Amino acid sequence: MYKEEYERWLGFDLQDPDLKPELLKIKDNDEEIKERFAVSLSFGTAGLRGTLGAGTNRMNIWVVRQATQGMANWVKTQGGTQTVAIAYDSRLKSDTFAKEAAGVLAANGISVRIYDALMPVPALSFATRYYKCTAGIMVTASHNPSKYNGYKAYGPDGCQMTDEAAAVVYDEIQKTDILTGAKTMSFAEGVEKGMIHFVGDDCKKAFYEAIEACQVRPGLCKTAGLKLVYSPLNGTGLVPVTKVLGDMGIDDITIVPEQEYPSGYFTTCPYPNPEIFEALEYGLKLAKETGADLMLATDPDADRVGIAMKCPDGSYELVSGNEMGALLLDYICAGRIEKGTMPQKPVAVMSIVSTPLADAIAEHYGVELRHVLTGFKWIGDQIARLEADGEEDRFIFGFEESYGYLGGTYCRDKDAVIGSMLICEMAAYYRSIGSSIKQRLEEIYSEYGRYLNKVDSFEFPGLSGMDKMAGIMSSLRENPPKDFAGIAVTEVIDYTKPEETGLPKANVLIYRLEDGSTAIVRPSGTEPKIKTYFTTKGADIAEAQAKKDTLAEAVKPILS
């Protein structure tokens, strides 16, 4: 079957000049043909994501057209404005895929609002809400290596698509022949016919104003003298991040030159993820040379932000997503109480795999901290619930351990632009009172205890990878571990049982241990890997690390 599909592609006008040579190159390699055509890229709540190339199991214009026809069929059943917002990042072919999607929507009689230049995820979420769109599309593969691209689908609320909507779109995709099934129209024709419009300056201005309205201590940065090194990692962050920081009064910004401008090749960081050291190496070198207070990096679609903070001895230390979530929660609470802007019955939200240190901080400030499934749409869902009750002002902050933060209700996905703004404002504030982020973090640990949160990943590549992952998760449920390294398991929380957790069904297992540690096992929703999240607590970092190492060694054989 896959060989027949390969032959069909080979004899078709594929329109993209990169595709036919790739197919000819593999004509005698059954394994390569099978890898491209035996399955199709699956469409879920995170949309599509895959390697660029030819075939049903690759990201290309045909897969994008097919997916967009499925989206169009769903949009046409939804009523509303029958409009879809589109944005795209700096990845290879992102602009092409965005225009292809716009053409399919236009051919289906659906209006399009597309950005005229690359913009980040939060700008797409904002535009979807601003124009009261029926849906949104973001062309990106987030922080994956350069050979990947993807397609995130959004609902009318600006959150990533719900499970129910994604299932309908997936069914519609299945009914659409990949090469002949999608209605198409050129981008130029869509513009001429008035079906495709660019996002207006009014929307862009409103986006920046909404972010800047979330400052905790407005005006503080103008006199704080913060010195910053920033890297957009060749992605979408350069314009929005520097615009917002400049408006706040932070003008001493040194941009990492090799990573300044958009490029889908990511030659300086093969894995452009601000969670990992390799992506920050150029920025750290520049921070040391310039003596910056802070080194900041945003990922290609600018929904995640990572930092390195300056320590008293002049060295730089990376701050984890959990630590930054705790720091920002603490800063926002203290600052809003001081300024008299804390709402009645404030609400913060974090994912179930994030640090319990945040629970202790929230309790200290009298903030209700809600726990949701992994995926920022669940944080967006909590904002929507508050909004439905006319109480969206109660929301003060949301975060997940994978470096995603949101400090307002103007969009419903994680936002590295507001994350950058709040981090820089926090750094400027501590600098202005003779302190630092590092010093405040140590104070938090001395007050609440030395928490350590670490994530390990186990990769399962190839066509059999997903089956192996499913087998491991089944085995853990059928034969639940009684202990890890001799430390008894006191409670197992299985998120496939919503009647017990009170949350929607999810493939997550949490093990609470006798010594107060937790171990969480969760397959990634976007990559062929199982992630393990460990939380340990000790009198000092060495004790917490030793506990984590012991747990990790005990878990390794189960997942290998």
The catalytic residues are 142
Q: Quote the tokens at residue 450.
A: 């030395």
Contact of 84 with 112, CB cutoff 8 Å: yes
Distance, in Å, from the CA atom of 390 to the CA atom of 384, rounded to the nearest integer, reads 10
Specify the amino acid at residue 201.
Answer: D
Distance, in Å, from the CA atom of 301 to the CA atom of 87, rounded to the nearest integer, reads 10
Contact of 33 with 23, CB cutoff 8 Å: no
Contact of 201 with 85, CB cutoff 8 Å: no
Contact of 420 with 244, CB cutoff 8 Å: yes
Alpha helices in 59-162 (DSSP H): 61-75, 94-107, 121-130
Distance, in Å, from the CA atom of 391 to the CA atom of 384, rounded to the nearest integer, reads 9
| Distances 559 to 50, 457, 549, 552 between C-alpha atoms, Å | 24, 10, 15, 10
- Cα four-point dihedral sign 463, 464, 469, 471: positive
Contacts of 318 (CB under 8 A, 6+ apart): 277, 280, 306, 307, 308
Q: Quote the tokens at residue 301.
A: 């679609």
Q: Reading across the β-sheet that carries 487-494, which strands appear in turn? A: 450-459, 529-538, 518-523, 509-513, 487-494, 483-484
Which helix H or strand E contains 427, and what residues bound it? Answer: helix 416-432
Distance, in Å, from the CA atom of 413 to the CA atom of 398, rounded to the nearest integer, reads 10
Beta-strand pair 368-372/316-319 = unpaired
